Amino acid sequence: MTQVGGVQSRCLGVTLQLIIAAVLHQGFATVAPPTTAHTTAPPHKDPGRPEKINYFVNNTYGTCLMASMGIQLNVTFSSVSQNKTVHGVMNLKPNFTKSSGSCYATNATLNLTTDVDKSILTFVFSLNTTSSKYHLSEVSLSAAWPDMKEPVSAANRSLDYLRGTLGYSYMCREEQTLNVAPELSINIFQVQVQPFNVTGDQFGAAEECQLDEDDMLIPIIVGAALAGLVLIVLLAYLIGRKRSHAGYQTI
């Protein structure tokens, strides 16, 4: 009897360890980032999460590029008020952001301008017609914020972000950081974008990013561990019952 009990609790121990490991992993994944984010940008106060905005680029046939996301600019510049180099973090706000753009066979441009801060942000998507894949290939920014000693302009024409397949939209619920240049990175939130082959003004079926898929994995692992635990307890119970049964018979 006691031997069976020993086996049972050891199995329980291993399974519980698995579950605890999975839960801890999730806990660290969601808790750790905010603590580091708060300590890194002391000069300018944290503007919070940017609001999600819908952007349309229309041509004569209707909407040709659609995007929906929250955009946060992180620009390194020389500050007048602080007399030093700072990381300025600014959110694009719906009422103060205008969009325009253009669509061609193998490239599509989304051009965003902000009223107050005098920034022009441009995203260029490229389509590879051989592979039917698109990606964000270019980002440029020119900014003349009031606190800037001189205007900042940054561009990178060899990027490879937001990869998707023609006819589908690209989607990512998790925050992503686009590293553009030493003086510019862009944090995007809850992005869904379709730069080519938009039909009507609806997104095509979504292809979800790797980050989201990784996030889905945790509940699956926890679920599998719980199922395993139930199975082990059941087995231990059945074995225990059989043994004790045999035990009673010999007495």
Ligand X SMILES: *[C@@H]1O[C@H](CO)[C@@H](O)[C@H](O)[C@H]1NC(C)=O
Q: Which is nearer to ligand X, 124 or 225 (CB)?
A: 124
41 touches ligand X by CB under 6 A: yes
As measured in angstroms, the least distance from the Cβ of 147 to ligand X is: 14
As measured in angstroms, the least distance from the Cβ of 152 to ligand X is: 13
Q: What are the DSSP E strand ranges found in 40-160?
A: 53-59, 62-79, 84-91, 97-103, 107-114, 119-128, 133-143, 152-156
Q: Which is nearer to ligand X, 15 or 187 (CB)?
A: 187
52 touches ligand X by CB under 6 A: no
Residue 61, CA distances (Å) to 43, 54, 73, 192, 197 in order: 47, 19, 32, 22, 11
Q: Whole-angstrom Cα distance, residue 67 to residue 53?
A: 8
Q: Are 126 and 65 in contact (CB under 8 A)?
A: no
As measured in angstroms, the least distance from the Cβ of 192 to ligand X is: 15
SS3 103: strand
Contacts (CB under 6 A) with ligand X, residues 62-121: 63, 74, 83, 87, 89, 95, 100, 104, 107, 109, 111, 113, 120
58 touches ligand X by CB under 6 A: yes
Q: Which is nearer to ligand X, 106 or 244 (CB)?
A: 106
Contacts (CB under 6 A) with ligand X, residues 125-164: 128, 130-131, 156, 158-159
As measured in angstroms, the least distance from the Cβ of 117 to ligand X is: 13
Q: Rounded to 5 degrees, what angle do the CA atoms 82, 84, 89 make?
A: 75
Q: Whole-angstrom Cα distance, residue 52 to residue 104?
A: 26
Contacts (CB under 6 A) with ligand X, residues 169-198: 179, 181, 185, 187, 197
Q: Which is nearer to ligand X, 83 or 249 (CB)?
A: 83
As measured in angstroms, the least distance from the Cβ of 171 to ligand X is: 17
Strand partners of residue 100: 111
Other Cβ atoms within 10 Å of 163 Cβ, number: 13
As measured in angstroms, the least distance from the Cβ of 146 to ligand X is: 17
Q: Are 66 and 58 in contact (CB under 8 A)?
A: no
Which residue has the CB atom at the shortest distance from ligand X? 167
Q: Are 69 and 76 in contact (CB under 8 A)?
A: no
Strand partners of residue 207: 170
As measured in angstroms, the least distance from the Cβ of 230 to ligand X is: 43
Which residues lie near ligand X (CB under 6 A)? 37, 40-41, 56, 58, 63, 74, 83, 87, 89, 95, 100, 104, 107, 109, 111, 113, 120, 122, 124, 128, 130-131, 156, 158-159, 166-167, 179, 181, 185, 187, 197, 201
